[in-house]
Amino acid sequence: MTEELTATEKPSDNPVLYVARPMATAARQFAKSLLRPSTIVYPYERLEDPKFREQVQVASGKPIGVGAVWDNYRGVHALNIATCISCNLCAFSCPDLCIEMVTVPGGDPKHAKKCPEIDYGKCSYCGFCSDACPEGCLTMTTRYELSTPKRSEMVYSPQKLYEVYRTKLPMNPIRLERPANEDSILLDPPLCIGCNACARDCPTQCITMLEIPKPTAKPGEKLPKRIWKEPVVNDSDCVRCGTCVSVCPKECLFWGSRR
Amino acid sequence: MAPTEVAETLGARLGSRLLGVEPFPGTAGRVRFDRSGALELFRSMRDDLGYLHLSMIAGIDWVDHREVVYVLWSDTRGDYALLSTDLPANDAHVESASGIWPSANWHEREAWEMVDITFDHHPDLRHLLMPEGYQFHPLLRSFKLHEPEQLEVKTRNV
Amino acid sequence: MSNVTLYSISYDLSHAVVFAVGSLAYGSWRAAIDSNAVVTTIAVLVFAVILLAASMLNTIVLIWYERKLLGRFMDRRGAMHVGYAGLLQNFADGLKLFRKHTFAPREADDLGFYFGPTAYMVSSMLIFGILPISSGWNSGALPLSLLLALVIFSFAPLFIFVSAWSSNNKYSLMGGMRSAAQMIAYEVPLLLAVVAVVLVAGSFDLSTIVYEQQNYWFWGPLVVALVVFVAAMLAEMERIPFDLPEAEAELVEGWNTEYGGMLFAFFMLADYLRALVGSILVVLLFLGGWTLPTWVPSAATSFPLAGIFWFMVKTYIVFGLFVWVRASLPRVRTDQLLRVGWNRMIPLALLSVFLAALLVSARCLPVFGCVPSLGG
Amino acid sequence: MSDIWINMGPQHPMTHGLWNLRVRIEGELIRDVDPEVGYLHRGIEKISEDRHYNEVVTLMDRTCYVAGLSWEHLYMLAAEQALHIDPPERAQYLRVLCDEFQRIGSHIMWYAAFVQDIGLMSPFLYGMRDRDLVLDLFQSYTGARMTYEYMRVGGVRNDLPPGFTHQARKVLDWLTDRFHEYDQLCLGSTIFHKRCDNLGVLSGKDAIAYGVTGPMLRSAGVKRDLRKDRPYAVYDRLEFDVAVADGADVTGRYLVRMEELRQSVRILRQVLDWLDHHPGPVLADRVPRWLGAPYAPVGQEGYLLKRRFPTGVGFSSVEEPHGEAQAYVVNQGGEHPYRVKFRSPVYSNVSAARQYLVGYHVADIPPIMGSVDVCVGEVDR
């Protein structure tokens, strides 16, 4: 037994006092809450409302959470369609597979602009997607009321997410820093056929196809049938989405460290 | 306690059925044994080395064979010990530890229904987490998620 | 106003109606309608309807009152949305229950299943016909009204047990058994405590008992009896800490587990009717009924219906005490409850009877009239 | 009178979750019990095999819904051992901060549910009210009230917001006053002692044999606390006492938990002081790209085959609010863990139900099971 524990009040043997103590405690609470009970009358009073928070603190004299309690809240997403680069990272990072990339108008004719569509019936609000977003266009807001009579309305299209963005709700300000030793996209040159698929689909346009000298064929050797170009990745622009790796038909692009 | 000391104590009792004691960070070691010496090892662990507390039994499916991992704790020594034995996949059975440590009861039931490892002489080897009459072993590697499963649940009247 | 009774009001009312109707009729019809028998019958019916409406209204307000009080004890608000401060919440709940489909389990015994709650409800309402609310505001002077009230009050375990057994559920049955055991165990101290009051007051008539408290309220001389009575009443009303028959932690909802809809509403209402009766009995027997202490300025008692007003105030305060107990004490166990009932309560009750007899025979009761706080 | 079996559960006020306690009773006496679990089995161990190391965090919060951060910590310790990663020091302190606040939250939640079991109504609301302050603190730095998803392999997601430590100290002061109120309502009442003394007795010897851990074991006088016996994170640098009681009964468990609340406050004050003065990184920077967090694309196992990653096995154990939780993570070099196995303390505590229930009354089941602090999400996983 620790010292504190032995010091715990031993109830006295007076049976009248026995019932009196809890009743006195309850009565004290009754008197305290006569003015203003601690409950929050939810639809009328909201925790995220700073004005209300001060009011409660003054009225009941007790701390109601920290000041910035709502700033980091992970609620419904907000999507800024204009800055979205269709990198797929949000969909890749979603553990519940609730994000689907759908086409939105506004892309250039060569490759369509795709933005996330989120199914809130599946979403677990883990925030991996907004952490992954390299452009900061997918963020989480303090909005938490989602109930709807139809299940289909739980699926938020990019336009609907953009509507959330336009309400200017407070957004989760935390942006994760990239790991210092991030891997890069590397090329396995002998396998490349120069097909341009990676450069075409790169959302940040950071891959350029550079011409390489066509080797002269030795006698008896047949040159591979390919375009004599090779992708070069600009590491500082690359967001590491891996689109190039997944579209590469020959699996010649892979993740690795330059060191 | 160093793994070598454990090895000496156990080696005297088990002989060749003790396959070795590997160091394992944060524990007294990982004792690999042959399943024929299971009961003797359990008894030796409890009585000679003072591991009174069986914390966990984990079954692992390595496709070609299965592994059972026992986690023990000793209050007197203040450390963990891991026991592990390999079982052939087509004949995965090992002696039950529930006679030595009563807490093994539910862990063995779970390992049986999840990884299909039979524990001989278990007092009550029936389904624990899965419904009665469930015919699959979900934690086998051959059990793939996202596949419809056929499930027949027996109901019982009490 | 003091010679106006509830019955006389309803009699006058029905007499006027019958006279008006009768004046439109002719000949022998007129005589038949205007007879005393018809007027009496209608008067009794009107009386019953008034009583029903008043008691139901009171019960529902009582539920609201408990919810609000409990809310404050628990640092929350209680019902607050429907009507002003949630006053209409219970009417809304009642309407919802009324609209719900009432069904019985397949294996249940239908007769007992439907009879139980109905009889429980009816027996609880019957008591209101007997209790005086203010001077003259009762059904008429019954010489043994206290005894009759307690007799009707103690019907309840039978009906509870019938409904519990016939719903064919193990939890219900256990709840019913507990209820029967508990009520029988606490019936004895309850009656013994009442005997002490009767000894002092010298009458079984509730109105007389209140008149006897003109000089001093009985809780002073009979404080032991009051404690026993309140404790036994808590057990009879099945409220925390003695709510074992419907201990929701282990028995789901005890003997009304299988009930839903209006039948459940019957149980609920009857429970609160009994709680109301219990509080009223405490007020009548120990707290001077509708009388106020003499040192209170006469303005407080001279306005119309002052008696009823102060009576209700006292009743609600007593019920508030029950709510306070409910908010702060845990539930006891069956065996502990019965042990306390038979081993502690009955000796205490006997002691209170003995003390009352001592006080009466020593003729020292008027002493209490000099203590102002007792209401002298 | 003949015996009858009754099913207490899966929908029953006593169960606090979805499980079934089959009880054979004779009158009001318990003759035999048979706990049935599995109603909440979600296959977390199986789902983990299909997820990235970091994504398993989302499952950990759902393992035990009152002690999510403790379970995150447990998993992270095992995963980091399997992956050979060391979290920075500040992250370890933050994890201890999470653990102890979680312990306070969980124990207050336990208190609220337990008093409801013995029929005390108002403390339930008091407990929920006070726990909300802890949840507010959690929300301020993790971004959620219940499903935190805060820890990452190699550290934690983000640092504390400004002003956090000041507010946390205010909350701790407020809570310390409330603990006294809790004791007044329970220990100060005769009926509580009548209900809970010498109830559900499980001797220390039996408790060890049945794998019972946590406050249940400590209430039997066994001084066993992993934070002291096998310190993880930075517990070896913090001062606190292990709470034990000697009744091995429901009151003893109450006393142990109440004392643990006070000890947690003591630990938290030290941790907050340290955090005030030692800024630093909260995520290890040498985390491999493919789990470094939220970036890793799913479904590209191909690229891993081109590189060799170290394999390993991780084993961790954490003193969770309910007892001793363990995790066993096998890393075979893929981007998903090969096998994840969790040991839940409540699982073992419930499995010993026959030892501490038989012989008591039906009315004793709620307080006894309440004192076990059953969290079904943890039992079934």
Provide the domain limits for residue C64: 59-94
Cα(D5)–Cα(C363) distance, integer angstroms: 60
Mean pLDDT, residues B25-49: 84
- At residue D302 the predicted structure's pLDDT band, cuts being 50, 70 and 90, is very low
The predicted pLDDT at position B1 comes to 53
D16-61 residue pLDDT tens: 888 888 899 887 888 889 888 888 888 888 888 888 788 888 888 8
DSSP-derived letter for residue B143 is S
| Cβ-Cβ contacts under 8 Å, D230 against chain B | 26, 78-80
C235 and C307 assigned to the same domain:
yes
The predicted pLDDT at position A11 comes to 45
C298-307 residue pLDDT tens: 777 777 777 8
C1 and C69 assigned to the same domain:
no
C226 and C323 assigned to the same domain:
yes
**Amino acid, single-letter form, for residue C29:** W
The reply to whether residue A26 touches residue C327, judged by beta carbons under 8 angstroms, is yes
User: At which residue do the structure tokens 């049945």 appear?
Assistant: D210
- At residue A65 the predicted structure's pLDDT band, cuts being 50, 70 and 90, is very low
Mean pLDDT, residues A109-123: 83
C47 and C8 assigned to the same domain:
yes
Nearest Cβ partner for D41 among B52, B129, B143: B129
Among D51, D203, D228, D341, the strongest candidate for a mutation testing the B interface, having the largest count of B CBs within 10 A, is: D341
- At residue D299 the predicted structure's pLDDT band, cuts being 50, 70 and 90, is very low
C175 and C272 assigned to the same domain:
yes
Q: Does the pLDDT at position D65 exceed 90? A: no
Among B5-19, B71-85, D230-244, the minimum mean pLDDT is found in B5-19
Mean pLDDT, residues C310-315: 88
List chains touching B (3+ CB pairs under 8 A): D
Q: Angle between the C223-237 and C306-328 helix axes, to the nearest 10 degrees?
A: 70
The reply to whether residue A95 touches residue D58, judged by beta carbons under 8 angstroms, is yes
C78-122 residue pLDDT tens: 888 888 888 888 888 888 988 888 888 888 888 888 888 889 888
Measured between CA atoms, the residue of chain C closest to residue D120 is C330
Among C245-259, D147-161, D170-184, the minimum mean pLDDT is found in C245-259
Query: How close D118 gets to chain B, by Cα (Å)?
Result: 28
Query: How close A12 gets to chain D, by Cα (Å)?
Result: 8
- At residue C155 the predicted structure's pLDDT band, cuts being 50, 70 and 90, is confident
The predicted pLDDT at position A173 comes to 67
The reply to whether residue C171 touches residue D6, judged by beta carbons under 8 angstroms, is yes
Q: Does the pLDDT at position B97 exceed 50? A: yes
Are 3 or more Cβ–Cβ pairs between D and C shorter than 8 Å? yes
C44 and C188 assigned to the same domain:
no
Are 3 or more Cβ–Cβ pairs between B and C shorter than 8 Å? no
The predicted pLDDT at position A55 comes to 63
C209 and C355 assigned to the same domain:
yes
List every span in chain A annotated with CATH 3.30.70.3270. Answer: 77-172, 184-215+224-256
C89 and C151 assigned to the same domain:
no
**C324: contact with A, CB 8 A cutoff:** yes
Q: Does the pLDDT at position C9 exceed 80? A: no
**C329: contact with A, CB 8 A cutoff:** yes
Measured between CA atoms, the residue of chain D closest to residue B72 is D211
C200 and C138 assigned to the same domain:
yes
Q: Does the pLDDT at position A6 exceed 80? A: no
Q: Does the pLDDT at position A69 exceed 70? A: no
CA dist list (Å): D162 to A47, A68, B66, C32, C58: 19, 8, 51, 91, 55
The predicted pLDDT at position D111 comes to 92
Q: Does the pLDDT at position D305 exceed 90? A: no
Six token digits for residue C282:
């405490």
Contact between residue D259 and residue D183 where contact means Cβ atoms under 8 Å apart: no
B102-129 residue pLDDT tens: 889 899 999 998 888 988 888 888 888 8
Mean pLDDT, residues C268-297: 85
C27-64 residue pLDDT tens: 676 666 667 777 778 777 877 788 788 888 888 889 99
Neighbour-count burial for D310-337, b at 16+ CB within 10 Å, e otherwise: eebbbbbbbbbbbbbbbbbbbbeebbbb
Q: Is the ipTM of this complex over 0.85?
A: no
Cα(A23)–Cα(B110) distance, integer angstroms: 47
The reply to whether residue A125 touches residue D147, judged by beta carbons under 8 angstroms, is yes
Contact between residue C179 and residue C255 where contact means Cβ atoms under 8 Å apart: yes
Contact between residue D37 and residue D348 where contact means Cβ atoms under 8 Å apart: no
CA–chain centroid gap for C54, Å, is: 13
The reply to whether residue D158 touches residue A176, judged by beta carbons under 8 angstroms, is yes
Mean pLDDT, residues D233-262: 89
CB within 8 A of D41, min separation 6: which ones? Answer: B129, B130, D380, D381
Say how many domains are in chain C: 3
**D366: contact with C, CB 8 A cutoff:** yes
| Cβ-Cβ contacts under 8 Å, A30 against chain C | 72-73, 324, 327
C205 and C332 assigned to the same domain:
yes
Nearest Cβ partner for C73 among A19, A29, A38: A29
List chains touching D (3+ CB pairs under 8 A): A, B, C
| Cβ-Cβ contacts under 8 Å, A92 against chain D | 295-298
**D189: contact with C, CB 8 A cutoff:** yes
Q: Does the pLDDT at position A217 exceed 90? A: no
Among D59, D229, D339, D378, the strongest candidate for a mutation testing the B interface, having the largest count of B CBs within 10 A, is: D339
Global pTM exceeds 0.80: yes
Give the whole-number percent of chain C exceeding pLDDT 90.
4
Among A126, A135, A243, the strongest candidate for a mutation testing the D interface, having the largest count of D CBs within 10 A, is: A126
Measured between CA atoms, the residue of chain A closest to residue C81 is A41
- Domain A77-172 sits in CATH 3.30.70.3270: yes
D114-128 residue pLDDT tens: 988 888 888 888 888
**D117: contact with C, CB 8 A cutoff:** yes
**B26: contact with D, CB 8 A cutoff:** yes
Between D230 and D297, name the one with better pLDDT: D230
Contact between residue B6 and residue B31 where contact means Cβ atoms under 8 Å apart: yes
- At residue D309 the predicted structure's pLDDT band, cuts being 50, 70 and 90, is low
C194 and C284 assigned to the same domain:
yes
Fold of A184-215+224-256: Alpha-Beta Plaits (3.30.70)
The predicted pLDDT at position D328 comes to 92
CA dist list (Å): C239 to A230, C69, C230, C243, C321: 84, 15, 11, 5, 12
D265-295 residue pLDDT tens: 999 999 999 999 988 888 776 665 445 443 4
Are 3 or more Cβ–Cβ pairs between B and A shorter than 8 Å? no
Measured between CA atoms, the residue of chain C closest to residue A16 is C227
The predicted pLDDT at position D97 comes to 93
Q: Does the pLDDT at position A1 exceed 70? A: no
CA angle C37, C41, C44 (to 5 degrees): 140
The predicted pLDDT at position D73 comes to 92
Nearest Cβ partner for A254 among D190, D244, D303: D303
Measured between CA atoms, the residue of chain B closest to residue D44 is B139
Shortest CA distance to D215 belongs to which of D377, D379, D375, D372? Answer: D372
- At residue C5 the predicted structure's pLDDT band, cuts being 50, 70 and 90, is low
The predicted pLDDT at position C2 comes to 46
Among D134, D183, D295, D309, the strongest candidate for a mutation testing the A interface, having the largest count of A CBs within 10 A, is: D295
The reply to whether residue A254 touches residue D306, judged by beta carbons under 8 angstroms, is yes
**D343: contact with C, CB 8 A cutoff:** no
**C174: contact with D, CB 8 A cutoff:** yes
CA–chain centroid gap for A161, Å, is: 13
Cα(C311)–Cα(C292) distance, integer angstroms: 9
The DSSP H or E segment spanning A79 is strand A77-79
C131 and C248 assigned to the same domain:
yes
- At residue A62 the predicted structure's pLDDT band, cuts being 50, 70 and 90, is low
Nearest Cβ partner for A23 among C71, C76, C328: C328
Among A33, A40, A64, the strongest candidate for a mutation testing the C interface, having the largest count of C CBs within 10 A, is: A33
The reply to whether residue D315 touches residue B82, judged by beta carbons under 8 angstroms, is yes
Six token digits for residue C293:
């202490």
| Cβ-Cβ contacts under 8 Å, C74 against chain A | 29
Q: Tell me the average pLDDT of chain C.
A: 82
Six token digits for residue C140:
């008429």
- At residue C316 the predicted structure's pLDDT band, cuts being 50, 70 and 90, is very high
Other beta carbons less than 10 A from residue A201's beta carbon: 18
For chain A positions 64-123, those within 8 Å of chain D (CB to CB) are: 64-74, 88-89, 92-93, 95-97
The reply to whether residue C77 touches residue A41, judged by beta carbons under 8 angstroms, is yes
**D363: contact with C, CB 8 A cutoff:** yes
Taking CB atoms and an 8 Å cut-off, how many pairs form between chains A and C?
Answer: 39
Give the whole-number percent of chain B exceeding pLDDT 70.
90
D102 burial (CB, 10 Å; 0-12 / 13-18 / 19+) is buried
For chain C positions 53-92, those within 8 Å of chain A (CB to CB) are: 71-77, 80
DSSP-derived letter for residue A109 is S
The predicted pLDDT at position B147 comes to 52
CB within 8 A of B107, min separation 6: which ones? Answer: B54, B56, B57
